[in-house]
Amino acid sequence: MSTALERYSGAHRRRGALTQMLRHTRLRVVTCAVLGGVLMGGCADDGVTTPAVEQSQQPSLQVSTGVATDLGTLGGARSTALGINSNGQVVGESETTSGNEHAFLWQSGQGMQDLGTLGGDMSSATGINTRGEVVGYSFTASGQQHAFLWQSGQGMQDLGTFGGENSSALGINGKGQVVGYSATTSGLVHAFLWQSGEGMQDLGTLGGSESVASGVNREGQVVGTLITAAGQEHAFLWQRGRGMQDLGPLDGGFSGASGINTRGEVVGLLFGVITSWHEHAFLWRRGQGMQDLGDLGGGFSSASGINITGQVVGISRTNLGDGHIERAFLWQSGQGMKDLGTLGGENSGATAINDQGQVVGESQTSAGDFHAVLWP
């Protein structure tokens, strides 16, 4: 069975930042939709689905670089964590006893709660804010993939689309502003910013064909990836009143942004002169541009999240084994990349970090399955 870090690439894979970053971070959920042209379904009304609840075991395992907590599953073989808030609440997706994958909310002492679906058989939670509001995507009863907002006591709200068939939410801030992507009536995918009472705002493309928004900070600054008029994939920063800013590169390479912190620092994946034409995680700061964060010895890395102190997490190929082992990393200024280890297996990947420095992602266990993991 494919893992959460690769499931949405496969036959629909194409070159560039959207391909590699989506395959290795929480943005992978849109690979098929954006790169493969396989958008499915259509608009639906703003329905609410009441979630079911299942509990999971929470074993704690010692790894080489510290104690990691295995968050378990909803009864199936695998799970992955995709977001964490400052309260330590974790969201992601897990296989259930029926074999379907459902969005979950994990809380210490309570285990995993199944958040249900919008009527279909699959859902995934990609982000959570300090108020415990959860966003992600779910299949509807008619088989369409739609962005959702989940609130305790209210269940899932379908956020709709731009008139096309699919949408997905990939981030939410403390004000309840939601970002992601949606298909338009033409079938192309555009980044959106959703707010209660206002609905979806199309963030545009800077003259190109498509865009995906992947992160939003407390100030309402949005980051993501766009395809330029020249067909290149570039990271962008969007601000109200200023629109989209292309973060580059200008050397013929490609980039994609996956996260932004309150200070406006942006992380993601870069391929260009700066990285000596390797695909590497980058950190962008206003006035300084993109910084290559290097890798763990295997020639590839991608950043997925950054917190208020500038700690960056993601995934990197290592020089272990046959050179194809990938590990979750924590990068800090002046210290470089640290391998966060695993739950006993070979591979792991980090997807998000909160301001307290807690990191989540997925790790291979000694049995070979991939489980959602929390690094303290």
Q: What is the pTM of this model?
A: 0.85
- Residue 139 in any domain: the answer is yes
CB 312 within 8 A of CB 267: yes
pLDDT value, residue 322: 82
Determine contact, residues 118/139, Cβ cutoff 8 Å.
Answer: yes
| Residue 42 forms part of a structural domain | no
Q: Structural domain of residue 295, as residue ranges?
A: 10-36+49-375
Contact assessment for residue 145 and residue 136, using Cβ atoms and an 8 Å cutoff: no
Question: What tens digit of pLDDT does each residue of 340-375 get?
Answer: 999 999 999 999 999 999 999 999 999 999 999 999
User: pLDDT digits over 125-158, tens only?
Assistant: 999 999 999 999 999 999 999 999 999 999 999 9
Q: Encode pLDDT of 181-210 as tens digits.
A: 999 999 999 999 999 999 999 999 999 999
Separate counts of helices (H) and strands (E) for the chain:
2, 30
What's the rounded Cα separation, in Å, for the pair 312 and 317? Answer: 16
pLDDT at position 66, please?
52
Which CATH number does the domain housing residue 92 bear? 2.130.10.150
Q: What is the mean pLDDT of the chain?
A: 85
For residue 321, what pLDDT is reported? 85
Number of domains composing the chain: 1
| Segment 245-281, tens digit of pLDDT | 999 998 989 999 999 999 999 999 999 999 999 999 9
* pLDDT > 60? residue 220: yes
Question: Is residue 41 one of the residues assigned to a domain?
Answer: no
Residue 20 has pLDDT above 80, yes or no: no
Q: Which amino acid is at 254?
A: F
Would you give the DSSP letter of residue 208? S
Measure the CA angle with vertex 166, ends 231 and 254; round to 5°: 25
